[in-house]
């Protein structure tokens, strides 16, 4: 059973049945960069990585696993009747090849101090919207690709820009012609939209609830605004090469709060 089908089944459970079900179900193993879905009694208190997780009325919980997480992961569940459960999830390591990206504007690789301060402010503004913990279950939709095209950059790979090592890649890059419409991979709320960030150019963030969000970078056009409710498949902008980019492509990143996760794994789990 795929994650999408399992989630739909969990969310469709009758409330009375969910309330009487005392099972705690998490996968025994997951991969670095994954979204983890679990099942707990509906009235439980669930803690993971120092956070209290939201629980749906039907007992669904979800969280993200970082690129460098080695595990095992520990999830603590306190049921309404006072009983407890401690689940341990093993983490499968992944290989992270080195990607060389040449031809990007030199000023975006080694910016002067005044530009570095601008970058810091802009990145802080994007990071702030990832703190949201909305009680919406848009993340439960089976995600779709926001644009068709060749995957030109993979999540987690070490990036070398113009011969200079930089941080690991935080999403997946999809090569497509400039102007290609970009569609929302799942429903959500637009929490950030700016057409001119220094590194990421045209940038949109969509919040999917429960701490999960998607970001779309290097857009040539923005078709949405902050506060707008977005449906899956709705056009949110167009592919471009704005910011630090060597050619037209879409960078699609996903987060669970400040934890970056792999969009490709989320797509794979939906099918």
In the listed set 60, 92, 124, which residue is the last one of a domain according to the structure? 92
Say whether both 129 and 165 belong to one domain: yes
pLDDT at residue 13, as a whole number: 52
Q: Where are the alpha helices (DSSP H) in the chain?
A: 3-11, 15-20, 106-109, 113-129, 263-269
Q: What is the pLDDT of residue 169?
A: 83
Residues 136 and 183 in one domain: yes
pLDDT score of 193:
98
Q: How many structural domains are present in the chain?
A: 2
Tell me if 66 sits within 8 A of 28, measured CB to CB: no
Kindly state whether residues 75 and 171 are assigned to the same domain. no
- Tokens standing for residue 197: 């960030």
Q: Which pLDDT does position 90 carry in this prediction?
A: 98
Q: How does strand 221-222 pair with strand 164-168?
A: unpaired
Closest CA to 26 of 136, 267, 44: 44
pLDDT of amino acid 251: 97
Judgement on whether residues 202 and 225 belong to the same structural domain of the protein? yes
Task: Kindly report the pTM of this predicted structure.
Answer: 0.88
63 and 171, same domain (yes or no):
no
Last residue of a domain, one of 68, 92, 116: 92
Q: Where in the sequence is the domain holding 72, given as residue range(s)?
A: 3-92
CATH of the domain at 58: 2.60.40.10
Boundary of a domain, candidates 71, 92, 113: 92
Profile the chain (271 residues) by mean pLDDT over runs of 10 residues: 52 52 92 97 95 94 96 96 96 88 74 90 97 96 96 86 76 97 98 96 98 98 98 98 92 98 92 69
CATH of the domain at 258: 2.70.70.10
| Best CA proximity match to 248, nearest among 164, 150, 157, 110 | 150
Which SS3 state, helix, strand or coil, does residue 76 take? strand
């Amino acid at each position: 059973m795929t994650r999408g089908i399992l989630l739909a089944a969990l969310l469709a459970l009758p409330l009375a049945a969910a309330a009487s079900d005392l099972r705690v179900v998490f996968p025994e193993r997951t991969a670095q960069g994954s979204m983890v879905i679990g099942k707990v009694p509906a009235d439980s208190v669930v803690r993971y990585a120092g956070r209290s997780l939201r629980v749906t009325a039907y007992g669904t919980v979800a969280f993200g696993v970082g690129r460098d997480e080695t595990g095992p992961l520990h999830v603590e569940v306190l049921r309404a009747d006072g009983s407890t459960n401690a689940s341990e999830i093993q983490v499968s390591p992944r290989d992270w090849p080195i990607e060389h990206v040449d031809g990007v504007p030199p000023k975006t690789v080694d910016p002067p101090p005044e530009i570095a301060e601008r970058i810091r402010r802009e990145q802080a503004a994007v990071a702030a919207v990832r703190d949201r913990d909305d009680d919406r279950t848009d993340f439960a939709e089976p995600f779709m690709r926001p644009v068709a095209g060749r995957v030109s950059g993979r999540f987690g790979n070490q990036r070398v820009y113009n011969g200079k090592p930089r941080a690991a890649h935080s999403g997946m890059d999809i090569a497509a012609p400039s102007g290609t419409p970009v569609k929302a991979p799942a429903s959500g709320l637009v929490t950030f939209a700016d057409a001119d960030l220094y590194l990421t150019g045209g940038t949109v963030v969509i919040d999917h609830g429960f701490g999960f969000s998607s970001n779309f970078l290097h857009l040539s056009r923005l078709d949405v605004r902050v506060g707008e409710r977005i449906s899956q498949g709705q056009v949110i902008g167009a592919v471009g090469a704005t910011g630090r980019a060597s050619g037209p492509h879409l960078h699609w990143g996903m987060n669970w709060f400040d934890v970056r996760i792999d969009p490709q794994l989320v797509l794979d789990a939906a099918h």
